Amino acid sequence: MKVLKFGGTSVGSAARMKEVAKLICDGNQKIVVLSAMSGTTNSLVEISDYFYKGNTSGALERINVLQQKYFDVCEELYASVDHKNEANVVIKTHFDFLRSFSKSVFTLFEEKAILAEGELLSTTLFQLYLSEIGENSALLPALEYMRIDKNAEPDTAFIAVELAKQLELQPDKMIYITQGFICRNFYGEIDNLQRGGSDYSASLVGAAINASEIQIWTDIDGMHNNDPRYVEGTKPVPVLHFEEAAELAYFGAKILHPTCILPAKLANIPVRLLNTMEPTAAGTLITTKGKNGKIEAVAAKDGITAIKIKSGRMLLAHGFLRKVFEIFESYQTPIDMITTSEVGVSVSIDNAKRLDEIVNDLKKFGTVTVDKNLVIICVVGDMPYENVGFQAKVVNALKDIPVRMISYGGSNYNISFLINADDKIPALKALSAALFN
Ligand code: ADP
Ligand code: ASP
Ligand code: MG
């Protein structure tokens, strides 16, 4: 069985939902993971923000605007009065639930419940449409099988067992519709897999059922060789190795959630990136096979902070790096890039929440310098070190850009550069010109 995930734009209007229905109703059994309709999760974040600030009338106003959007979709999506009425009841129930938060204390717990509403709405309305057009379909409630553990990591064993149970409860359906993004946490509360997490849901579902393929359907024809939001003339990459795709996703290629490749890679399930607006385009196939010796793509990750610890006395003593890393670990802050020299070590982080505490602790070991507002530029491809020349090509492309850190050798698949945020677009353009044109 295949797992197909459709993102927000792919289900962003009644017309788009009808297109998705045409795409998936092909006589093959499948699981379809849906995001919220585009714009909905952002609106729910905004509504939560009003509640946090105690501005109930602001929240209610936003809720009414969003509800009207859903009534309009419903008017266009369903043909029969019965289905329109049924959908209107669904919409009313979900929006009354949102309104009910005006009477309660508002915390992260309530916010997560609100954020889940987007996917609950899109899947319920879409499945109702499938039943109106006579498709043999069923809903698989993600809140019954998708779970994260105490460390916010997916509980893969639980997911596999509980998803199998949900499928057994409703056997012989052609199309199973389920929610992306949403899950329960270790305490049984409603939670989520972070923004953009529906891709992650799809690969977790794919791994749990040992799917033959995971398809991520979006608004572009596959993984492009550079970020199409900043660089003109980018092109889709036909084939990527799992490692290459994982690096690109982690280092900023928004088309994929940062961690969504891992479950597919571990289960060795091919992932295909496809375009809902152009279903016949080849897209990108992500598998264990890549192209040998080729630079494939470039991505950029924003919001990076660099921390340098200089200590001539201690750096080469054994145990020094361990002590440095332990500080980051104790503040649950992952490190992205590392470079070392005789006198110092530089690391980069993308989560600066605990920066002050980290810097304070690091001061025990040497002089600490912090640079904020940086960007990691990541060049991805099959680049074993024996294959001479590719580093020179990449470095040469960036000859006019001030580079704060360079990293290669952690894997054969990536060279990373840390640069100022202002230099991001010139760097991306320079790399496209030198590597792909
Ligand atoms: P969805 O809502 O379907 O999950 P996203 O907006 O999350 O879609 O991801 C698709 C978008 O990712 C594209 O519209 C494109 O602007 C952006 N994007 C960024 N980098 C890349 C890249 N390297 N290749 C393709 N798309 C990219
Ligand atoms: N709806 C969620 C978001 O907007 C999840 C997703 O679309 O992948 O972040
Ligand atoms: Mg996305």
Question: Given 164, 198, 219, which residue is the final one in a domain?
Answer: 219
Binned at pLDDT 50, 70 and 90, residue 369 comes out as very high
Q: What pTM value is reported for the model?
A: 0.94
Binned at pLDDT 50, 70 and 90, residue 331 comes out as very high
Note whether residue 248 is domain-resident.
no
Average pLDDT value for the chain: 95
**Is 202 in contact with 5 (CB distance < 8 Å)?**
yes
Instruction: Please tell me the total count of domains within the chain.
Output: 2
Of 181, 240, 239, 171, residue with least CA distance to 205 = 181
Are 79 and 213 found together in one domain? yes
Protein residue whose Cα sits closest to atom 8 of ligand 2: 196
Q: What CATH code is carried by the domain that includes residue 61?
A: 3.40.1160.10
Q: What CATH code is carried by the domain that includes residue 321?
A: 3.30.2130.10
Instruction: For residue 159, count other CB atoms closer than 10 A to its CB.
Output: 23
Note whether residue 289 is domain-resident.
no
Q: 221 CA distance to ligand 1 centroid (A)?
A: 9
Are 49 and 194 found together in one domain? yes
pLDDT higher than 70, residue 314: no
Note whether residue 260 is domain-resident.
no
pLDDT higher than 80, residue 90: yes
Range of the domain at 164: 2-219
- The torsion angles phi and psi of 82, rounded to 5 degrees, stand at -60, -45
pLDDT, residue 290, reads 79
Maximal C-alpha separation, the chain:
79
Note whether residue 234 is domain-resident.
no
CA dist 413 and 392 (Å) reads 16
Binned at pLDDT 50, 70 and 90, residue 104 comes out as confident
Note whether residue 268 is domain-resident.
no
Are 71 and 162 found together in one domain? yes
Q: 189 CA distance to ligand 1 centroid (A)?
A: 30
pLDDT tens-digit readout, 204-239: 999 999 999 999 999 999 999 999 999 999 999 999
> How far is C-alpha 423 from the chain's CA centre?
25
Are 215 and 306 found together in one domain? no
Are 12 and 117 found together in one domain? yes
Note whether residue 114 is domain-resident.
yes
**Is 208 in contact with 156 (CB distance < 8 Å)?**
yes
Answer whether 181 contacts ligand 2 (Cβ < 6 A).
Answer: yes
Note whether residue 63 is domain-resident.
yes
Are 18 and 131 found together in one domain? yes
pLDDT, residue 321, reads 87
Query: How do strand 344-349 and strand 335-340 relate by DSSP bridges?
Result: antiparallel
Are 49 and 151 found together in one domain? yes
The residue with tokens 């009414």 is 64
Q: Which of 6, 33, 35 to mutate to test the pocket of ligand 2 (most atoms within 8 A of CB)?
A: 35
Note whether residue 210 is domain-resident.
yes
CA dist 99 and 51 (Å) reads 10
| 315 or 80: which leads in pLDDT | 80
Q: What 3-state DSSP class applies to 45?
A: helix
CA dist 324 and 311 (Å) reads 12
CB-based contacts of 13: which residues, under 8 Å, 6+ apart? 37, 73, 76
Are 203 and 300 found together in one domain? no
Structure tokens belonging to residue 419:
């640069």
Average pLDDT value for residue range 352-358: 96
Q: 182 CA distance to ligand 3 centroid (A)?
A: 14
pLDDT > 90 in the chain, percent: 92
Residues within a 6 A CB radius of ligand 1:
7-10, 35, 196, 218-220, 223-224, 227-229, 253-255, 299
Are 212 and 312 found together in one domain? no
Answer whether 35 contacts ligand 2 (Cβ < 6 A).
Answer: yes
Are 66 and 196 found together in one domain? yes
